[in-house]
Amino acid sequence: MKNILEAPFMVETVRTLTNLYRLGWDERNGGNLSVLLDEEEVSQYLDTSCVIRDIPMTFDASAIVGKIFLVTGTGKYFKNVQYDPAHNLGIIKIGEDGRTAKLLWGYTDGGRPTSELPAHLLSHITRLAIDPSHRVVMHTHPTNTIAMTLIHDLSERAITRTLWQMQTESIVVFPEGVAVLPWMACGTNEIGEATAEKLKKERICLWAAHGIYGVGKDLDEAFGLIETVEKAAQLYMLSVNAGIKNGITDEQLKELAGVFGLDYRKEYLD
Ligand code: 2HA
Ligand code: ZN
């Protein structure tokens, strides 16, 4: 067996979590991440039939029975992951009943997957049905994005329009717009189901006064979506009090969509 700490999926996950912490987005135990792994690849590092313990789940994941995920641990700090991945991360396989996470590696202190496991696994189910190349669900607490949800109209159309108006990149990177959930208690099946439902139409979902979910076929794609939203939100927060005079107009956004051949959300422009 090869050393799992040197597996490309592990190295990249640890680097990503360290980066998220350094950006100041994941204070304390904030944020969580799950990556769908390839069983053949994992088999080079682990005996995937060797289960350390069963972890019960409170929701139905029978659509992804047998799938294997690398998942951040509940209560764990992104700050610490690089120093002890096996303590802070776990690799789970979804059991036959669809209600058990079978621990294959990690959570060495007796830990469990993130409290947001329902949002993660239900979102994986949603996205895999839309895009078979989907792999990553990322949740983080980007400062300006959260600040924007405190002061902006939370309608998806309004918030998407503002994000598009702030910088040229926005409509290019997320032409479908962003989904928004009003404030809800986190860590529940309800917010997990609501997030997975939202991610049917968009790849980004804001959680008001909390954070953001982004999905993608790899860590770069999920992170790239989130950092582009956060940059637009930062531009908004920097300029809103001075009065925004030169935001990108609807005509200019349409011109951009033409240049880049974007399949954008038509009803979001006037
Ligand atoms: O895991 O971010 O949403 C801590 C959180 C909960
Ligand atoms: Zn959170």
Say what the pLDDT of residue 57 is. 98
Say what the pLDDT of residue 51 is. 98
Percentage of the chain lying above the pLDDT 70 cut: 100
Banded pLDDT at 145 (limits 50, 70, 90): very high
- Ligand 1 centroid distance, CA of 78 (Å): 11
Banded pLDDT at 123 (limits 50, 70, 90): very high
The burial of 47, by beta-carbon neighbours within 10 Å (0-12 exposed, 13-18 middle, 19 or more buried), is given as exposed
- Ligand 2 centroid distance, CA of 160 (Å): 21
Sign of CA dihedral 178, 179, 183, 187: negative
Span 102-120, mean pLDDT? 98
- Ligand 1 centroid distance, CA of 28 (Å): 10
Banded pLDDT at 82 (limits 50, 70, 90): very high
Say what the pLDDT of residue 128 is. 98
Say what the pLDDT of residue 162 is. 99
- Ligand 2 centroid distance, CA of 133 (Å): 25
Span 207-236, mean pLDDT? 99
Residue nearest to atom 4 of ligand 1 (CA): 30
The residues that bridge with 138 in the sheet, in sequence order, are: 33, 214
End-to-end Cα separation, the chain, in angstroms: 58
Q: Which residues are catalytic?
A: 116
Contact 250, 266 (CB under 8 A): no
Name, in order, each residue with C-beta under 8 angstroms of 85's C-beta and a sequence gap of 6 or more.
5, 10, 14, 106
The burial of 182, by beta-carbon neighbours within 10 Å (0-12 exposed, 13-18 middle, 19 or more buried), is given as exposed
Banded pLDDT at 19 (limits 50, 70, 90): very high
What pLDDT digit, counting tens, does each position of 193-214 carry?
999 999 999 999 999 999 999 9
Pocket-testing residue among 20, 32, 188, 213, ligand 1, by greatest number of atoms within 8 A of Cβ: 32
Looking only at Cα atoms, what is the longest distance across the chain? 61
Say what the pLDDT of residue 90 is. 99
- Nearest atom in ligand 1 to 32's CA: 1
CA 267 to mean position of chain CA atoms: 25
Residues, beta carbon < 5 Å, ion ligand 2? 211
3-state secondary structure the chain: CCCHHHCHHHHHHHHHHHHHHHCCCCCCCCCEEEEEECHHHHCCCCCCCCCCEEEECCCCCHHHCCCEEEEEECCCCHHHHCCCHHHHEEEEEECCCCCEEEEEEECCCCCCECCCHHHHHHHHHHHHHHCCCCCEEEEECCHHHHHHHHHCCCCHHHHHHHHHHHCCHHHHHCCCCCEEECCCCCCCHHHHHHHHHHCCCCCEEEECCCEEEEEECCHHHHHHHHHHHHHHHHHHHHHCCCCCCCCCCHHHHHHHHHHHCCCCCHHHCC
Residue type at 233? Answer: A
- Nearest atom in ligand 1 to 139's CA: 2
- Nearest atom in ligand 1 to 74's CA: 1
Task: Kindly list the protein residues whose Cβ atom lies closer than 6 A to any atom of ligand 1.
Answer: 29-32, 114-116, 139, 186-187
Q: Which domains does the chain have, with CATH numbers?
A: 1-115 (3.40.225.10), 118-270 (3.40.225.10)
Say what the pLDDT of residue 94 is. 98
What pLDDT digit, counting tens, does each position of 148-195 carry?
999 999 999 999 999 999 999 999 999 999 999 999 999 999 999 999
Among 115, 64, 135, which residue's Cα sits nearest to residue 94?
Answer: 64
Task: Please count the CA atoms within 13 angstroms of the CA of 156 that sit on its side-chain side.
Answer: 19
